[in-house]
Every structure is written in C-alpha cells, then in structure tokens.
Amino acid sequence: MKKNIAIAIHGGAGQDSPYIREHVNDYKKGLKEAIEHGHKLLSKGAKAIDVVEATVRILEDNPFFNAGRGSALNREGEVEMDAAIMDGKLLMAGAVSMVRNVKNPIELARTVMHYTKHVHIAGEGALKLAKIRNLELQPNEYFITDHQRDLLLEETTPTGHGTVGCVAMDEFGHLAAATSTGGLTGSLPGRVGDSCLVGAGCYANELSASSCTGEGELIITSVIAHKVAMLMELKNMRVQEACDYVIRNMENPIPGDVGIISVDNKGRIAFSFNCQRMHRASIDTSGKMVVEVYNV
Amino acid sequence: MKKNIAIAIHGGAGQDSPYIREHVNDYKKGLKEAIEHGHKLLSKGAKAIDVVEATVRILEDNPFFNAGRGSALNREGEVEMDAAIMDGKLLMAGAVSMVRNVKNPIELARTVMHYTKHVHIAGEGALKLAKIRNLELQPNEYFITDHQRDLLLEETTPTGHGTVGCVAMDEFGHLAAATSTGGLTGSLPGRVGDSCLVGAGCYANELSASSCTGEGELIITSVIAHKVAMLMELKNMRVQEACDYVIRNMENPIPGDVGIISVDNKGRIAFSFNCQRMHRASIDTSGKMVVEVYNV
C-alpha cells in the first residue's frame, strides 16, 4: 500500500551564472539522488526527523552544493559551516554555527538536539561536542573545492551564497526541517547566516516545516520560516499561499534573492522564490517527482 | 512640552533565591539608574536605537546582572557573552555570540549592524571586529564575580540564567530592542542562547519591540519575540494581550521560566512572565516610573 509521505529539498537560490548553466545536469543529478534516497527512507517507515538529516547529509557530501564539502570560503579563505534541524512534532531543535572539520554539520546539529540540553552550540565548543560524540572529522582540504577558490578570488561581487535543505512529512503526519550551509563567499570570519537560526532559515511545528535559502541577512531580519508558520496558524493560509505571501509579495518585496521550500501536515509541498533559480526537487504524496533548477 | 516617549527594561526572570532576596535593593537601584538614564536620553530627542544600546550598556556594566561584567560562567569556568540589537523602523539588526573580552557586547552588536553587511558575527571573528573598531576590551577577570563563581560550584542545579534587555519608543514613534546576556551557568562551551537570536530573544518592527529572558532554549524553539510581533500584526492583538498569550497561555503553557518586555508604537508598555520574579522597570508616556522584582 502506498504511504502518505512527502519530501522536498533545495540546493540554493539566487541569480544564474555560467558555472551553474554548465553544470545544470550535475546539479539535477545530485538533487535526484538525494530526493530518491529520502523518499525511499520515508517509504520504509523512517521518521521525518531522521529523513531530513539523512537527505541533507547526501547534499553536504556532494561538492557541487555549498554545504559540507564544497562550502564557500570566507574572506580569510576558510570554511565555517552552519546547520539546523527541527522536529515539528516535539518542537525541538538543534543548531550549530562556525563549525570546522566536521564532515556533516547536520549530524552535529542533530547531536546538539539529541544529546544536550541546549539548542545551539557554536565554534570550538561545537567541535568539542563532535569529538565527544565521535563524529567523522575531515581536514580542511576535504571541504574546499576549486570552484569555491575561484569564487573567492573573482573580482566581481561574489555570487557564492547557497544552502541545502530538506523538509519532510512521514507516514505518521509528523514534520521536520533541516538546513545546512557553507555560508557566504568572502564574508567576515565568524559570520553566522540564517541557515542555523531557528525561525529564520529552518522551522517546523505541527502544521508545516520550512527551509530557506538566499540572502541570509534578509531571511534573519524577516524571520521567514517562522513567518510562514504564523501565517498558516494565525491566518489559515495554505502552505503555498503563505510562502508566496512572504517571498513574492509585490507590495512589500524582500530586497534580495530569497527562496523557501515547505511541506504541510497533509503532505502538500510548496516552493517559492523571487530570483532566477532555485535548485529544488520533491516527491509528493502521489509519488510524482519534480527536479528543477530554473523557473518553469 | 512633554515628549511622547516610553522605555522598559528587564534584568532577568526566573525563580527566587536567597541571593536575590538579599540584594533586592541593589537590583532595584541598578534598574532605576538604567531606566532613568535611558528616559533622559529619549527626552533629549535621542533615537530609540541609540537609547536601547546606551541603557543596556549600563546594565552590562553593573555586576549584579548576568551580562557584561557579572556574566555567568560556562562549565569550563569561562565567560562567553551574547547580544542583539534591532531597529524596528529600518528592520535592521546586529548580533554577536560567544564574545569574550569585549566590555560591552551590545556595542559590538550595534557595530555589526552599522559597519558590516552581516547581521550576526560570532566568536573569534567578533573579537576581530571589536579590535578593528577599537571597542573597549577587558581581561577575563573583569567579567567574573564571586557570585557567579559560587553559582557554578553549587551542587544543586544552577539557577544562574539571566539576561538584560531594553525596549524603547522615541519621539518619532520609532521602536528598538536590545538584549544582552552572559548565558547559562554551567552550560557547554559554545552554547548560544536566545538573547542574540533575532526573533527569539530580541525583535523589533514598526508595530512593537520586545526583549525576552528566561530559559533560552524554550524561547528559541517558540521564536517568542517574533511570535508577539506576529500576533499583533496578524491578529490585531494589543501588546499586553499578545505577550500574555505567548507567555502565560494556560492552555498551552511554556514548560519553563520565561519573561518578556514589549513596547508598541503608541508607547504602551507590556510586561509578562510566568515565574516568581522578573527584574524590571519602565517609564511610560505619562512619565510614571515602575521598578519591580517580584510579582505585585
């Protein structure tokens, strides 16, 4: 019997670039691999919180995406990664920021949620926790790709922001969200973006789960993922309507590139973005798969 | 002519303790000094964003409060401070986390907002920024008080969470919020609380400005400051009603000690807390001053 499950992912949003056009099939392949893996887990009865973690891990391991391997470099040429995960049923979350050397920051975020009394642990303290829990570490060279080196040294304004994320509804109707990023090319060291901030780049409750991507500073000050949840809870908006209201509101436009993926507790999937591309994929409750990069 | 201005502050919320009972007049004196200073600035025409920064600085400098001097010690006996500031008119924010040696973390948060393209900078990167901007630094000993040493070594569960915050409406009807903390006694190193998270412990827009205190992990996952703003925007609740709905909702109680201060764009001040005490003070649009610690 077919299960009532749904999953969506993103791999960043923003403007188009020659690099993205050249590698569009690599991106689609990576998205397809991740969404199929996550959906398979759901169909076997896995919980949403486990599925979003496992799916984001695949995107972190793929060097084409700006998260884990392939992370953006800050202005000192270093990788500092952020991630967050949230269980909508339990209203529990875990987050990490300024993480170095941890192969899968999303696993460390889950570790914060599962093994500590805290929600968010940053920097050296996060690395200490990873060592205590025996998470896989990698040397700096593992994370750095030639493409990210190129972006840092480009003379034009870097366009290297990007993120990965996953939202899922499991067969019990429970929701979860996960977001992970290598941050913003050329940022000041220590910059914390929206991805690891509960309510900004990642949020889940009993009604919906959302993951954001784009210009992180705007996502933080607009508290976008939580705003979508509030529009659904307080205004009875449907999930696509709530996402469009926040992201594509032409009367009060967000002054920068932003995208969001969401799923509600009926398994309805929403994508919304205000820019040229959002790397994205989904498999809905009917089993229909979508894998896209550009506007369609 | 009397100006239409309003200001409120808090100095932490939670359960009572012998130390607090013994020092209640010291706390009230510190609250009174800070609120009078902030109100005087407002009455001279200062902008809300400048006033909340200046007022929080006074509370940071007072060793009785858990922020700046007098910060809580993490389980390694070290001080790591968090702070955030937000301008409700411009919808701009600055935040810092895991800050060491910076005398006034709220000044550093303002620096992030004013001088960088980012919203949030953490750890070593935040210290680098403080040095570039020539902010006042202090050795570790400056921040550590005997009271905080005692709390860390108490055998019972430490009750040393605490925060300071300020919200204000200036004569132009603009709003701002600021929150600063030394964190949670005995926390894991690198723990980031709600105080520096935009939407959780600090939020301001054109309708209201809020600062939270209490069990930070609950404030993060409930995105409390932004939730109050959304209840006012989407449900037309008044500011006191919105705060009580979030903090004191008996049907869906927050499972821990939480408090909030808010001001709306008419200068109406709200306090709400679900525990034995919230150190607090205000001067409303009529000029009436309140300074309290316990329930009244």
DSSP of A208-257: EEEEEEE-HHHHHHHTHHHHHHHHHHHH---HHHHHHHHHS-SSS--SS-
Average pLDDT over residues B219-243: 98
Whether residue A163 lies in the annotated active site: yes
Instruction: Write down the pLDDT at residue B160.
Output: 55
Active-site entry in A163, A179, A185, A213: A163
Average pLDDT score over residue span B122-133: 97
**Torsion angle, CA of B50/B52/B53/B59, rounded to 10 degrees?**
150
Q: How many CA atoms, within 13 angstroms, populate the side-chain half-sphere of residue A54?
A: 17
Residue A232 contacts residue B132 (beta carbons within 8 Å): no
The single-letter code of the amino acid at A161 is H
Q: Which amino acid is at A139?
A: P
Q: If you compute the radius of gyration of chain A from its CA atoms, what whole number of angstroms results?
A: 17
- Residue B180 domain flag: yes
Asked if residues A43 and A140 have their Cβ atoms less than 8 Å apart, the reply is no
Count how many residues are written for chain A.
296
Q: Does any domain span residue A105?
A: yes
pLDDT at B264: 98
| B13 inside domain | yes
Q: Are A79 and A143 in contact (CB under 8 A)?
A: yes
Confidence check: pLDDT of B155 > 70: no
What are the distances in angstroms from CA A245 to CA A189, A200, A235? 33, 16, 11
Q: By the 8 A CB rule, do B202 and B217 touch?
A: no
SS3 assignment, position A114 = helix
Residue numbers in B near A91 (CB within 8 A): 221-222
Nearest Cα residue to A31 out of A295, A296, A289? A289
Alpha carbon separation from A191 to A12, A183, A235, A254, B94 (Å, rounded): 18, 8, 34, 21, 11
Under an 8 A CB cutoff, do A92 and B203 touch? no
Residue matched to tokens 């486990």: A50
Strands A269-273 and A258-264: antiparallel
Q: State the DSSP code for B84.
A: E
- The answer to whether residue A25 sits within a structural domain is yes
Domain that holds residue A213: 6-294
Please report where in the chains the tokens 């992990």 appear, as a residue: B217
Q: Specify the CATH number for the domain of residue A99.
A: 3.60.20.30
pLDDT at A249: 84
pLDDT truncated to tens, each residue of chain A (296 aa)? 678 999 999 999 999 999 999 999 999 999 999 999 999 999 999 999 999 999 999 999 999 999 999 999 999 999 999 999 999 999 999 999 999 999 999 999 999 999 999 999 999 999 999 999 999 999 999 999 999 999 998 855 555 567 999 999 999 999 999 999 999 999 999 999 999 999 999 999 999 999 999 999 999 999 999 999 999 999 999 999 999 999 988 788 889 999 999 999 999 999 999 999 999 999 999 999 999 999 87
Tokens at residue B269, please?
């001040």
Tokens of A165: 């994320």
Chain B residues within 8 A of A226 when measuring between CB atoms: 199, 223, 226-227, 230
Min Cα distance B200 → chain A (Å) is: 8
Q: Which residues of A touch B234 (CB under 8 A)?
A: 230-231, 234-235
Question: Across-strand partners of B145?
Answer: none
Question: Which residues from A are below 8 Å from B192, CB to CB?
Answer: 95, 97, 118-122
> Is the alpha carbon torsion for B30, B31, B32, B36 positive or negative?
positive
Distance CA B109, CA B111 (A): 5
Q: Is residue B130 part of a domain?
A: yes
Q: Where are the alpha helices (DSSP H) in A23-178?
A: 24-43, 48-61, 105-115, 123-132, 140-143, 146-153
Q: Which pLDDT score is estimated for B295?
A: 86
The confidence score (pLDDT) of residue A295 equals 86
Q: Rounded to whole angstroms, how far apart are CA atoms A273 and B19?
A: 53
Contacts of B93 in chain A (CB under 8 A): 220-221
Mean pLDDT of chain B: 95
pLDDT (mean) for B53-60: 98
Rounded CA gap, A9 and A261, in Å? 7
Both tokens assigned to A203: 């949020």
**Contact between chains at A117 and B235 (C-beta distance less than 8 A):** no
B172–chain A nearest CA distance, Å: 22
Instruction: Give the pTM.
Output: 0.96
In a mutational test of the A interface, the residue from B188, B210, B245, B246 whose CB has the highest number of chain A CBs within 10 Å is: B188
- Whether A205 and A178 have beta carbons less than 8 Å apart is answered as no
Q: How many domains does chain B have?
A: 1
d(CA B70, CA B11): 12
> Is the per-residue pLDDT at B237 higher than 70?
yes
State the smallest CA–CA distance between residue B121 and chain A in angstroms: 4
**Closest Cβ opposite residue B200 in set A118, A193, A199:** A199
Beta-carbon separation of A190 and B122 below 8 A: yes
Kindly state whether residue A1 falls inside one of the protein's structural domains: no
Would B1 be classed as within a structural domain? no
The proportion of chain B whose per-residue pLDDT surpasses 90, expressed as a percent, equals: 91
Of A86, A192, A227, the CB nearest to B121: A192
The Cα A21–Cα B213 span in angstroms is 48
DSSP letter (8 states) at residue B71: P
Q: What is the pLDDT of residue B251?
A: 80
Residue B262 in any domain: the answer is: yes
**pLDDT at position B154 over 90:** no
Name which of A91, A118, A123 is nearest B122 (Cβ-Cβ).
A123
Contact criterion met (CB below 8 Å) for A184 and A73: no
Q: Which two tokens stand for residue A6?
A: 């749904």
Which pLDDT does position B230 carry in this prediction? Answer: 98
Cα of B176 vs its chain's centroid, Å: 12
ipTM over 0.90: yes
